[in-house]
Structure 1
Amino acid sequence: METNDFVIRRAVGADAVAVAEVWLRSFGAALPDVRRAHTDDQVRSWCREVVVPGQETWVATADGAVAGLMVLDGDDLDQLYVDPDMQGRGVGGRLVEVAKRRRPDGLALWTFQVNAPARRFYERHGFVAAESTDGHRNEEREPDVRYRWQPAA
């Protein structure tokens, strides 16, 4: 059920708590068996001190509440999380559209190999798997896959 009843905008300092909570709920729901490298409080601190104030962070809000978040770091779509209660409503797709407009020359991202729903989502949005690793470069030590998106010629 897709809805357009949400607003996409740059995150501001007041969003940091909600950004962290969406990140935590989404990660927990999507990847319950993946070892988290950081505690909940460390994630909250990272969102408050690093992500929202220092990175290109976007939020999707519904009725004023953060429903999803996206972080762009150079040409990397570094974070994309949608609150589990808001998934399937077009929030993630709209955030990816923003990312493509902001990085019209192409994007790349990492996701865990075990995250089949995320992999299907990215593939539906034109991303192609380009590299797989055993996870030795990520903090979770979880096998991952690098996806790339290039605009149509």
Structure 2
Amino acid sequence: MIYDPPLPILISALVSVARILKAVASDGKHVLLLWRRAVDATHHFLSPSDRRDIEAEVLSFLPQAPLWLAVDNSDFPIGFMLLDGGHVEASFVDPSKHGSGVGRMLVEHAQCIQLGLTTDVNEQNAQAVGFYEHLGFERTGRSEMDSQGRPYPLIHLRLPPA
């Protein structure tokens, strides 16, 4: 007989994720460092001045934002998600954990909270677009500019309720 463990056990074994937690104020420094590493690894399309401006915006709100954290067995943040109702406003995973199931785990957690998720992804971030489409998100539209009016097109995606 072949043992077929449940998916959460497989994911936990794969990424050494202990659990998903609500962020607290003391997580802010680690979340900012994680955001920087993730953006540096995936957002090469940003101009240096836009990267600095975006970081200034992020510094002003991210540490206090109501985030869900994926943490490792030492409770160290390895990914996070900002969920506003059913909209994934932000989702970032430490680059050393890309492809290990952390992002999927965060999306599955969001689905438990809210059915019918949506998100917007930079068109130039092909890895992120592919990730969401692999999870079943469907394209619903495109914007020429990001939400701050910068020339970084967004792909609008929706995950229909299961």
TM-score bracket, normalised by the shorter chain, equals 0.7 to 0.9
Match of 1:141 in 2: 151
Q: Bigger shift: 10-19 or 139-148?
A: 139-148
Match of 2:133 in 1: 123
Q: Bigger shift: 59-68 or 92-101?
A: 59-68
Q: How many residues align?
A: 146
Match of 2:36 in 1: 24
Match of 1:11 in 2: 23
Structure 2 contact 15–97 (Cα < 8 Å) conserved: no
Match of 1:107 in 2: 117
Q: 1:60 aligns with which of 53, 58, 70?
A: 70
The 1-side partners of 2:31 and 2:134 are apart by 25
The 2-side partners of 1:101 and 1:93 are apart by 12
Match of 2:58 in 1: 43
Q: 2:88 aligns with which of 44, 57, 77?
A: 77
Structure 1 gap ranges (5+): none
TM-score of the superposed pair, with normalisation by structure 1? 0.86
The 2-side partners of 1:136 and 1:101 are apart by 28
* 3-state SS in 2 of match to 1:17: helix
1:84-95 residue pairs with structure 2 within 5 A? 84-95=95-106
Alignment RMSD: 2.0
Distance 1:42 1:109, change over 3 A: closer
Match of 2:3 in 1: none
Larger Rg: 2
Higher helix share: 2
Per the TM alignment, residue 39 of structure 1 is displaced from its structure 2 partner at its CA by: 5.6
The 1-side partners of 2:23 and 2:146 are apart by 31
Structure 2 gap ranges (5+): 1-9
TM-score of the superposed pair, with normalisation by structure 2? 0.82
Task: Name the % identity.
Answer: 29
Distance 1:101 1:34, change over 3 A: same
Structure 1 contact 22–67 (Cα < 8 Å) conserved: yes
Q: Bigger shift: 32-41 or 6-15?
A: 32-41
